[in-house]
Structure 1
Amino acid sequence: MVKIALLMSSLVAANKPIFKAVMENDADKIKELIASGQDINERMPGNLQSPLMASCLGGNLDAAKALLELGADVTVPEMDGYTPMHGAGFQGRAEIVKALLDHGVPVSGTEHNDGYTPFHRACWGTDDRHAETVQAFLDAGVDPNLPAAGVGNPSFKDG
C-alpha cells in the first residue's frame, strides 16, 4: 500500500512543473519557474509536501539549495507534520542538513508532535549516510544526549 501511495505521489509531482524540476534536481529550471510566478511553497495534493521537502527527501541538493536561496519556507510541514529538516535527518541527507543549517534552520526547537527531533531520526538510520548526517548535527552543536519531549533519550537505542 505504501508503494502505491509513493507511486501516486510521484505521478502527481511529475505533472507539476516545480516538483518535476525538483525530482530532476534542476536548479536552473527551479529558478526560472519561481521567477515566472510559480509558488515556491506549493503543496503536493495528498501528502502536502512542499518542493523543499521533496528535495530533502529525495536527496536533491542542487534543488534544495536553489529553493533555500529563493526563500522557500523551511517550516512548511507535510501531512504528518514533519519539516524539511526532519526529512533530511530521517533520510540521512548530510549535505542537505548542512545547507538547511547554513540558511538558519535551528538545530533545536524542531521537535515533531511525537517529541522526536531531526537528530533523533538521523540516529535511527543504519546506512553510512546516516552516520554522516549525525556528524553534521553534532558539528552544528546538537547535544547527543538531547531528550525527546516526553520520551527520554531515544538517540541511541539499546541492542
Structure 2
Amino acid sequence: MHTENFNLQSFRKFSFIAPNLFSLILLLSTPFKVFAQGYPKAPVAVKEESGGEQSNSDGCKELLRAVKSQDSVRVKELLRNVDPNCIFRGDGEPRSPLVAAARAGYVGIGKLLLEAKADVAYHAEGDETPLMAASANGHLGFAKLLVSNGAEVNKKLKREGTALIIAAREGHLGTVEYLISQGADVNAQVTGDGSPLIIAVRKGHLDIAKVLLEKGADPYLASPGDENPLYHARMSQNREMVELLEEYSDRH
C-alpha cells in the first residue's frame, strides 16, 4: 500500500516536471537570432527627401515648439545645443524648424536659425521646402531671406510643385513677381501640379495670370496629364480670363 502511494506521488511529480523540463530544453536549443526577433528593434535613422535624417529628440521637439510659439529667446538658447536641421514628428506638421518659421513668416527667428547653420533646403519628407512654405503663405520678407541665403527658386516637389506654382495657386501677387525676378521659371511643369499659369487660371487669379503672360508664360502649354491654360479658362467660363489668354495667344 505504501509502495502504491509512493509510485503515485512520483508519477504526479514527474508529470509536473516533465513539460517544464521539455520547455527549458526547447528554449535553450532555439537560435539566439530567432529568440531576439520578438524584441523591438533599435531606432534607425531615416533619410529624408531633403537629405537629412529623422530626429525625434527632445531638443528638436523643444526647438520646434519654441519656433511655433515665436519665442526667440528660447530659440536662441536651444540653438546652443540643438542642430536646427532636425525633425520632430510628434506634433503634426510642419516637422522642421525652418519650415515652421517660414510658414508663420517669423523673419527674426528665421535669421536665428540661418545663423545657426540651418540648411535653406532642409525639410521633412511630406513637407514643403522652406521657400515653398513662405510662398504659400505670402510671406515675402521670409522668401527674400531664404533666396538671399541660397534657396533654390526652381526646386520641384511632387504634390507641391514649385514655389512659383504655389504662390500663383494661393494668389500672392507680390511673391509671384519677386520669384520671377529671381529667375523662377514661368513655364515650369510638375506632373499633377500643373504650371504657374494653369493653376492661376484654374483659381481665377487674373492679375497673376497677366503677370505670368507678360513674363513669357505660354497659354498653350499643357502640363503632363492636364490641359492647357486656355482650355481651363473656357471650361470655367471666365470671360475676362479667356480674353486675356486669347490676347497673348496671338503672340505665340
- Same fold, TM-score > 0.5, yes or no: yes
Give the paired residue count.
Answer: 140
Q: Shift in Å at residue 123 of structure 1?
A: 0.8
2:61 is aligned, of 2, 6, 16, to 16
State the partner residue of 2:110.
64
Cα deviations by residue, 1:103-122 (Å, 9 ceiling, x for unpaired): 011212x1002471011100
Instruction: Note if contact 1:26-1:62 (Cα within 8 Å) is conserved in structure 2.
Output: no
Q: Indicate the structure (1 or 2) with the bigger Cα radius of gyration.
A: 2
The normalised TM-score by structure 2 is 0.49
Q: Please point out which of 135, 153, 166 is paired with 1:107.
A: 153
Aligned to 1:137: 179
Q: SS of 2:131's equivalent? A: helix
Q: TM-score, normalised by structure 1?
A: 0.75
How far apart, CA to CA, are the structure 1 residues paired with 2:160 and 2:68?
A: 30
User: In structure 1, what is the equivalent of residue 74 of structure 2?
Assistant: 29
Counterpart of 2:205 in structure 1 is none
Q: In the aligned structure 2, how far is the partner of 1:70 from the partner of 1:54?
A: 16
Q: 126, 141, 166: which one pairs with 1:80?
A: 126
Query: Which residue is equivalent to 1:42?
Result: 86
Mark the CA change 1:41 to 1:21 in structure 2 (over 3 Å): closer, same or farther.
Answer: same
SS of 2:196's equivalent? coil
**Are positions 1:95 and 2:158 aligned together?**
no
Q: Deviations over 1:39-65 (max 9, x none)?
A: 212212154621001001111111112
Unaligned segments of structure 1, at least 5 residues:
1-14
Cα deviation, residue 90, structure 1: 1.1
Q: Answer yes or no: is the 8 Å Cα contact 2:72–2:109 preserved in 1.
A: yes
CA distance in 2, matches of 1:115, 1:24: 26
